[in-house]
Structure 1
Amino acid sequence: MGDDESLMKTIHLANIACGFHASDFVIMDKTVSLAKENNVLVGAHPSLPDHQGFGRREMAIEPDELASCFIYQLKPHGAVYGQTSRSIELARAVVGVAKTFNVAFMGLAGTCHQKASEELGVRFIAEWFADLDYSPEGKLLITKKHDPITLDEVQARVKRILTEGLVTTKAGTIPIGDGIKDVSICVHSDSPGAVDIAQTVKRLVDESNRGYT
């Protein structure tokens, strides 16, 4: 558990675990109430049924099974985020759930997440992670634990994405992708220094948004 109370005072939207990889009905209720107190929007953060591995272990699963799993929860977490970004069949299954509930789908730009959303006519929000690394090809590097990152590096990464549309990778930078209209910047509550990272991100986003008003 991270410092949720401090984070709620900083963020615009909270993705809340739905009980499969973390959380339970009591924690979910308290977290939603905390979000409401701070005028924070709520999004679902579903995963594979993997409490022991915190949802960061891939599983062999059929598209119809995954769709049923997500209807129970409704944005993919951990390993299934990577699986659905690579498999168009699995991506269609989870994006189809978003379509059922008439909500946007948040995922990785330039992958099956975006392709399936465009195919099914679901609003796509490109999710970019301020506290995670990307491969030279732009693939998200999902690890069991989040390595520390300096605030200077966070600031540099966020400025690149906001002003140039560039994703920082292990080898340099690449464009976030074509056809992107909406971007969400994510910070994990279990990252070292999560509150400071979130505050840095929010300050830069607010400054950027003021430039468009």
Structure 2
Amino acid sequence: MPSIDINCDMGESFGPWVMGQDLELLGQVSSANIACGFHAGDPTVMLTTVRAAIAANVAIGAHPGLPDLQGFGRRAMAMTPEEVYALVIYQAGALQAFAKSQGGRLHHVKTHGALYNMTARDPALADAVAQAVYDLDPTLPIYVANAAIAKAARDKSLTTIFEVYADRSYQDDGTLTPRSQPHAMIEDVNQSIAQVIRMIKEGVVRALSGKDVPVTADTLCIHGDQPGALAFARSIRAALREEGIEIRTI
């Protein structure tokens, strides 16, 4: 039986300001990427989200991003490998402590937004992320979707879990269409379902150009900040079950 992990970015609220429907989404996913306070979230939100994930039996992942609350971590910054190393240690280590304090454990690390895109362009930054994860805990997997971070993780003998996206379109080189470009987001749930099933069963995705691009689908990302994310997640989960695809944590 084919299987897939469903992960969702969450814990992105801040103080009294609420983003997403985290508690409801936890019932639809098998792993959660929890913001660590730099691009979104704060200590109280991190604690609340960790507790909710443990209660829902959902795997806990650290979602480190750039120190840019105003830009939600989606604006590139000039950073050295040493700075990237430090910010990943800082954020993933904090979430690891939250998980341990509540009787859970950190399951994986997945970088956020512009930080992730920066690792795709600069192998030295990818290596800094992988080294930080390795030094924190060499048994932690990294969720990856670009060649540079995948290579860096494998060079450190870290487990690599390849991620695909339900709500994003792809380019010919297998990268995501930048959010600044038209048709970057997929808002039609039926189109999303068709894309997801093909990625899982056939190992390909149809790029915007019409070209079929090979992908490896270990985990499927759903963005918690996307409008209608809960309905989106429910529809995709139901469709996967109808196709005989098991949903489980890696």
Could you tell me how far apart the structure 1 residues matched to 2:29 and 2:38 are?
Answer: 24
Alignment pair present for 1:168 and 2:206: yes
Q: 2:226 aligns with which of 182, 191, 195?
A: 191
Q: 1:150 aligns with which of 171, 188, 193?
A: 188
Q: 1:23 aligns with which of 41, 49, 53?
A: 41
Deviates more, 1:143-152 or 1:65-74: 143-152
Alignment pair present for 1:73 and 2:91: yes
What is the aligned partner in structure 2 of residue 208 from structure 1?
Answer: 245
The Cα shift of 1:124 comes to 0.5
Alignment pair present for 1:114 and 2:150: yes
Could you say what the CA RMSD is over the residues aligned between the two structures, in angstroms? 1.9
Give runs of ≥4 in structure 1 deviating > 6 Å.
none
CA contact (8 A) 1:18 1:73 kept: yes
Query: Which letter maps to 2:225?
Result: D
Gaps of 5+ in 2: 1-18, 93-109
Could you tell me how far apart the structure 1 residues matched to 2:90 and 2:60 are?
Answer: 16
Gaps of 5+ in 1: none
Q: 2:165 aligns with which of 117, 129, 134?
A: 129
Could you tell me how far apart the structure 1 residues matched to 2:232 and 2:65 are?
Answer: 24
What is the aligned partner in structure 1 of residue 10 from structure 2?
Answer: none
Q: Look up the SS of the partner of 2:131 in the other structure.
A: helix
Q: For each residue in 1:118-142, what CA deviation from the matched residue of structure 2 results, as whole angstroms up to 9, or x when unmatched? A: 2111110111111112222221134
CA contact (8 A) 2:142 2:158 kept: yes
**Cα distance change, pair 154–34 in 1 and its aligned pair in 2 (3 A):** same
Larger relative contact order, structure 1 or 2 (CA cutoff 8 Å, min sep 6): 2
CA contact (8 A) 1:148 1:191 kept: no
What is the aligned partner in structure 1 of residue 95 from structure 2?
Answer: none
Could you tell me how far apart the structure 1 residues matched to 2:239 and 2:185 are?
Answer: 22
TM-score in terms of structure 1 length: 0.90
Could you tell me how far apart the structure 1 residues matched to 2:85 and 2:120 are?
Answer: 15
The Cα shift of 1:165 comes to 0.6
**Cα distance change, pair 3–144 in 1 and its aligned pair in 2 (3 A):** farther
Number of residue-to-residue matches in the alignment:
205
TM-score in terms of structure 2 length: 0.77
Identity %: 37
The Cα shift of 1:15 comes to 0.2
Could you tell me how far apart the structure 2 residues matched to 1:42 and 1:84 are?
Answer: 22
The Cα shift of 1:170 comes to 0.9
The Cα shift of 1:171 comes to 1.6
